Structure 1
Amino acid sequence: GIFGEAQLSALLEQVFTVDQYQAQVVTRRGGKNPVDFAIKLPGRSDSGDPLWLPIDAKFPSDDYERLLDAQQRADVLGAEAAGKALEGRIRLEAKSIAEKYIEPPYTTDFAILFLPTEGLYAEVLRRPGLMEVLQRDYRITLAGPTTLLAMLNSLQMGFRTLALEKRSSEVWQVLGAVKTEFGKFGDVLAKVKSQTESVLNTLSSAEQRSRVMGKALRNVEALTELDSARLIPPDRDMDER
């Protein structure tokens, strides 16, 4: 059991960040039995708690070693008996996992039974119909090291895709807000342009009038500064400035 948990922990560490899974989680409401590990899925239950995918490691080493020993001795009857015992043990473990750790909507409607060696996993797969029975009767999926790693990588890819979709949605919202504000900014620029053009037209008109007045006064003799000061007193404020 300790060996299986260590193997499972190492695989999870390869794929997930520490906040994407948790060890020793009680996944059933009011339960007292913690599963070895549970993955936090993006969806949440109605209560707001994480949706867990339970994974429990099992290593029936005694039954497996008896099977290997009988096979090495070419003991057909012994191998058959050990194989049936191993199959029975796997069924019991699957039933226990289903009863202790599966409880939708707080968990997924299935759990994973992890077998920590490829040899053990291959031996269990050889039992006719065992995989189908575990999935149908107990909602348990078997996984060896390689199979579990593939499952975990698939889950992680799904998490990343979901995160990208959420970020994409946020980006479109920001662009929509920018588009709205840019439209308002365009209206302000149009008003400023209109007002500026009006000022420029007024200045141009004043400049034209100034030229006309200059032409009309061209033949008028200018007064001396003293005579001009008597007719038009100077502005003291302007002089001070």
Structure 2
Amino acid sequence: MGRRTAAFQEQLTEERRKQQEAEARAQEALMRMMQSQSALEGRLAQMSDASAKSQAELTRTLEERLDKVSQRMGESLEKTTQNTTESLTDLKTRLALIDEAQKNITELSGQVVGLQDILSNKQSRGAFGEVQLNDLVSAILPPSAYGFQETLGNGKRADCVIKLPNPPGPIVVDAKFPLESYHLLRNAQDEGQNKQAAAAFRTAIKKHVKDIAEKYIVTGETAESALMFLPSEAVYAELHANFPDLVEESFRAKVWIVSPTTLMATLNTVRAVLKDVRMREQAGVIQKEVGTLLIDVDRLDKRVGNLRSHFNQAEKDIKEIETSSGKISKRAEKIEALQLEEGESAGAVLETARGQLDGE
């Protein structure tokens, strides 16, 4: 019985010890939990402070960025407004220029229509060619080298006469403008129209060449050839590109077909020829004057020779005069050296001196 009681007490004591150890461990765990809670509260406080600071910093950063964005947006809007204003101003200026250009185009259109009206009339078209011919000739040649609307010996009036010396003699230039047949040729839509227009163009050119050859090549008055002036490079190019037989026929008729460009080259050649002729004329005048100058030089040489002869004769006379003067001086010295002897008269002394001098 006593043993059971002692065992029970030991067991009870062991249980109490275990209970105490458990309570101690529980208290230790509770203390740890309280310490952990305190540490957690501190960390939460720090996190709260850090969060508050981060929030404040974020707020400040956001405010600064919003201010910068607002400022940039304001500057951008201001710059955009300025650029838009400048663009509108430039657009307005360009629209004004476009309006002005449109007015000019309208005026040019009217002028083109007017030019078409002029060229549609044969007389006006002829006057147009004559004016262009007048401008080209008067711009290159001197006034004495040409004449406009001059009447030839056969009664025909020439548009222009280039006055060249013989040979070749004066060359007549007549302006022709076969525009109607050229337009038909350019506007042909099919092969039939093209052939018809080509025939009309060929007929017009042949007629002009024949008229110029018969009217403006006058034997004994003009050169053996004449010029037909086409005041259009396009017509000239069409003629030489697609109608070489007409060009050869004009060569055989001694009618040279020229355009504004080729006429300028021809007139420059004519100016060179006229300049050469004037140089030859001046060379003849100079040669004549040089011959006259040589005659004058020969005459001057003869007169210089005569003057040299006179100088030689004068020098000889001077030497003779010097000889006579020397003799006179010697005689005067001898006369001065004579002394009058007593009882002699002056006349006797002179006679004696004269005799001595004569004896010399």
TM-score, length-normalised on structure 1? 0.80
Structure-2 residue corresponding to 1:5: 130
- Are 1:26 and 1:101, in contact at CA under 8 Å, matched by a contact in 2? no
Q: 1:131 aligns with which of 241, 244, 247?
A: 247
Structure-1 residue corresponding to 2:161: 38
What is the CA deviation profile of residues 128-160 of structure 1, one whole-angstrom value per residue up to 9, with x for unaligned ones?
321111121x32110001111111111111111
Which of the pair has the greater relative contact order for Cα pairs under 8 Å at 6+ separation? 1
Distance 1:28 1:101 in 2: 10
- Are 1:35 and 1:101, in contact at CA under 8 Å, matched by a contact in 2? yes
The structure with the largest strand share of the pair is 1
Long gaps (5+) in structure 1: 46-50, 228-241
Distance 2:310 2:288 in 1: 34
What is the CA deviation profile of residues 9-58 of structure 1, one whole-angstrom value per residue up to 9, with x for unaligned ones?
111011112222111122243x2x3121111222399xxxxx43111111
Matched, 1:14 2:139: yes
Distance 1:128 1:191 in 2: 78
Structure-1 residue corresponding to 2:228: 113
- Are 1:35 and 1:56, in contact at CA under 8 Å, matched by a contact in 2? yes
Identity of aligned residues (%): 29
Distance 1:102 1:198 in 2: 74
Deviation of 1:105 after TM superposition, in Å, equals 1.1
Matched, 1:148 2:249: no
- Are 1:38 and 1:55, in contact at CA under 8 Å, matched by a contact in 2? yes
TM-score, length-normalised on structure 2? 0.55
Distance 2:179 2:246 in 1: 19
Residue 42 of structure 1 aligns to which amino acid in structure 2? P
Distance 2:172 2:267 in 1: 13
Deviation of 1:77 after TM superposition, in Å, equals 4.0
In terms of Rg, which structure is larger? 2
Distance 1:191 1:160 in 2: 46
Distance 1:192 1:68 in 2: 89
The structure with the largest helix share of the pair is 2
Residue 86 of structure 1 aligns to which amino acid in structure 2? F
Matched, 1:160 2:275: yes
Residue 131 of structure 2 aligns to which amino acid in structure 1? A
- Are 2:230 and 2:236, in contact at CA under 8 Å, matched by a contact in 1? yes
Aligned to 1:217, what secondary structure does the other structure show?
Answer: helix
How many residue pairs end up in the alignment?
213
Q: 1:204 aligns with which of 319, 324, 329?
A: 319
Matched, 1:169 2:294: no
